[in-house]
Structure 1
């Protein structure tokens, strides 16, 4: 990849991962992610996966859903999930909700949230943000 600039490299990497994800072949996706990590580093690969997931959320809901369900624990995806959780927590606190009272975070990175807090969070979020937030928010039967 020495003969191409960083933008081309980034875009080619996104195309590679999206192509693998559309095939819904877990081993191929893991192999591509590992290869990119070995070649480009884990931080850069996390950035690529973030871009991939955002692009899929907006353009290919079926592949996005498959990706989210099958690669929630993939190293490069954990960075994205952590960012989404922190984004949600910050928004909830800024709206006056209290951690431990109105919402909490479980060991899997899901946010357990009351219906009032969930409605307020989703109402003040963009369409793309809502796609991701719905994946991490859980309303338990009893808080």
Structure 2
């Protein structure tokens, strides 16, 4: 039980620190935890923190994934979400390079109708994560005109 309490403590602390949206503060804190708690433990509660933020604080959730996606736990999480989407597309009969492709940032480029199929029967947290790895032509066009 003590391990669970410690994990919960670090999870709450991660959410507290991430809510400041200060990359240097977060990096210092994570570096200290890596040395005292170990990399795997730190990655576990950082992943749990972003999943919790997807339910409790969307602004911080988006900030974390937009600004800290280079951190190993978040890069791994986004890679897993990408694999999940690709698997779902292939299971639904979509063909790579024909029905979907990748943009320069490695996001999955697909049409709105295809995206709607991918989003079917997904939780709100999963939807938010999928939005971070999927892009539609309309989104690409809106980014190009900014």
Per the shorter chain, which TM-score range? 0.7 to 0.9
What residue is the counterpart of 1:91 in the other structure? 88
CA contact (8 A) 1:110 1:138 kept: yes
Counterpart for residue 37 of structure 2: 40
Aligned CA distance change for structure 1 residues 130 and 40 (closer, same or farther; 3 Å) = same
The CA distance in 1 between the partners of 2:120 and 2:20, in whole Å, is 34
Are the equivalent residues in 2 in contact too, given 1:16–1:32 (CA < 8 A)?
no
TM-score scaled to structure 2, two decimals? 0.84
SS in structure 1 of the partner of residue 122 of structure 2? coil
CA change 1:22–1:91 in 2 (3 A) is same
Could you say if the C-alpha distance between residues 105 and 12 of structure 1 is closer, same or farther in structure 2, counting changes exceeding 3 Å?
farther
Residue 9 of structure 1 is matched in structure 2 by: 6
**TM value normalised by structure 1:** 0.85
* Alpha carbons of structure 1 residues 36 and 105: separation in structure 2 relative to 1, 3 Å: farther
CA RMSD of aligned residues (A): 2.0
Q: Structure 2: which 5+ residue stretches go unaligned?
A: 141-146
Match of 1:26 in 2: 23
Aligned partner of 1:115 in structure 2 is 112
The count of aligned residue pairs is 139
CA distance in 1, matches of 2:30, 2:99: 37
Show structure 1 runs of 4+ deviating over 6 A: none
